């Protein structure tokens, strides 16, 4: 995730107050970054989704963990990244804001798509696709970039093999930031009274959150009639989009912008947040208790199971996002040198962690570990390695401005 919107170590400007550090939001960012690494460490050992390493032992508990993570954690990333977009725009203006987004978001996407992603896909291509041996340079030009002839027996999922992997989030965040600038510029053109009083919206209560859940569930169900989970669409032949989760991601980005403008991070009633956190945790516990008997995670189509899961997932999304924001604001408020360093490294960790995770997964393949044991080992090795690598990269000349 891009923490540049949160960056400068999560500073916020509440209406009428001086800029202050939000240590609790730093701590939330660290926790979410850890969850991303742990989530990817579980991919070959639980869910049936495609992954870079195949043929591994699986367990239903990790499939459930993956489904729970997917229900909320990237939506919360979009919210957290959007919270400080307005203040960054206000400080810099449209031109400088866009330039900073292109540096912080655009450069990692381009560099990662030319280095990290082709390396991962080449390993998968040579291990599992069954094509004749090929060198990496030839794979990169002929297959990844599509400059060679398309094989007659090509099995996809797309040609050329060019993808953005986990960098899709940075891509989408950049697109949302561009849309935000366009909306601000459009509002400036149509505004007739620049000095008009800005209305203060009350912080969301139970009724507003229930309405949000219902609307998001309905939109999610409608989209998934055509686009089930894990269906990716190349929008404008560049932007990698998963329509099945678009209602959640776009909604929480907008909510992050509004939360900043309305001071909701400070004004939101903690009692409401605790209730929703409790509901979310009970919903998670119910899924783990159901185990193999749980409904199919993420069905699509025009049917009752799809509608049920869209509603359940949307309820988990809202309750866990609201609940975790409340938990960290109220209880995980400590800040120090270590936590600030980890928070500053979190963006770079998101970018570099995947090749570390996949490398360890390849190394452990065929060594007789159970699914839970392999997942624990991958997480235990890749997580500290990613933070150490990120800390080192951020200290290299030229890297700090981007990372």
128-172 residue pLDDT tens: 888 888 999 999 999 999 998 888 788 777 788 888 999 999 999
Contacts of 295 (CB under 8 A, 6+ apart): 305, 308, 309, 312
The answer to whether the beta carbons of residues 354 and 165 sit under 8 Å apart is: yes
Distance CA(79)–CA(73), nearest Å, equals 10
pLDDT band at residue 103 under the 50/70/90 scheme: very high
Averaged confidence pLDDT in the chain: 88
220-232 residue pLDDT tens: 999 999 999 888 8
Q: Which of these, 289, 294, 285, 284, lies nearest to 320 by C-alpha position?
A: 284
- What is residue 294's predicted lDDT score, i.e. its pLDDT? 60
For residues 114-131, average pLDDT: 91
Q: Which of these, 355, 323, 372, lies nearest to 31 by C-alpha position?
A: 323
């Amino acid at each position: 995730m891009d923490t540049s919107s949160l960056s400068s170590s999560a500073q916020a400007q509440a209406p009428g107050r001086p800029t202050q550090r939000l240590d609790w939001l730093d701590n939330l960012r660290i926790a979410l970054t850890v969850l991303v690494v742990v989530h990817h460490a579980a991919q070959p050992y639980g869910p049936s989704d495609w992954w870079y390493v195949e043929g591994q032992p699986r367990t239903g508990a990790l499939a459930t963990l993956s489904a729970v993570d997917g229900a909320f954690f990237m939506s919360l990333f979009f919210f957290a990244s959007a919270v400080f977009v307005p203040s960054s725009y206000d400080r810099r203006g449209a031109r400088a804001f866009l330039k900073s987004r292109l540096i912080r978001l655009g450069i990692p996407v381009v560099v990662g798509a030319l280095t990290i992603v082709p390396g991962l896909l080449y390993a998968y291509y040579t291990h599992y696709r069954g094509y004749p041996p090929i060198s990496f340079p030839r794979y990169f030009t002929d297959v990844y970039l599509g400059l060679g002839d398309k094989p007659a027996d090509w099995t996809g999922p797309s040609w050329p093999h060019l993808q953005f992997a986990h960098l899709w989030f940075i891509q989408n965040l950049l697109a949302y930031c561009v849309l935000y600038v366009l909306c601000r510029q459009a509002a400036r053109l149509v505004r007739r009274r620049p000095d008009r009083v800005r209305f203060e919206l009350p912080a969301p209560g139970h009724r507003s959150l229930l309405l949000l859940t219902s609307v998001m569930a309905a939109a999610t169900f409608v989209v998934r009639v055509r686009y089930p989970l894990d269906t990716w669409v190349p929008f404008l032949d560049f932007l990698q989009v998963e329509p099945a989760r678009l209602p959640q991601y776009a909604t929480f980005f907008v909510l992050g912008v509004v939360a900043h403008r309305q001071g909701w991070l400070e004004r939101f009633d903690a009692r409401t947040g605790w209730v929703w956190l409790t509901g979310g945790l009970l919903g998670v516990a119910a899924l783990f208790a159901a185990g193999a008997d749980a409904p199919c995670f993420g069905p699509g189509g025009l049917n009752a199971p799809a509608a049920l899961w869209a509603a359940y997932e949307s309820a988990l999304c809202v309750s866990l996002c609201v609940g975790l924001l409340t938990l960290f604001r109220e209880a995980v408020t400590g800040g120090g040198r270590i936590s600030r360093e980890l928070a500053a490294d979190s963006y770079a960790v998101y970018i570099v962690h995947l090749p570390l995770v996949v490398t360890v997964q390849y190394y452990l393949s065929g060594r007789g570990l159970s699914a839970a044991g392999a997942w624990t080992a991958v997480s235990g090795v890749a997580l500290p390695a990613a933070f150490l690598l990120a800390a080192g990269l951020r200290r290299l000349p030229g890297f700090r401005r981007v990372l």
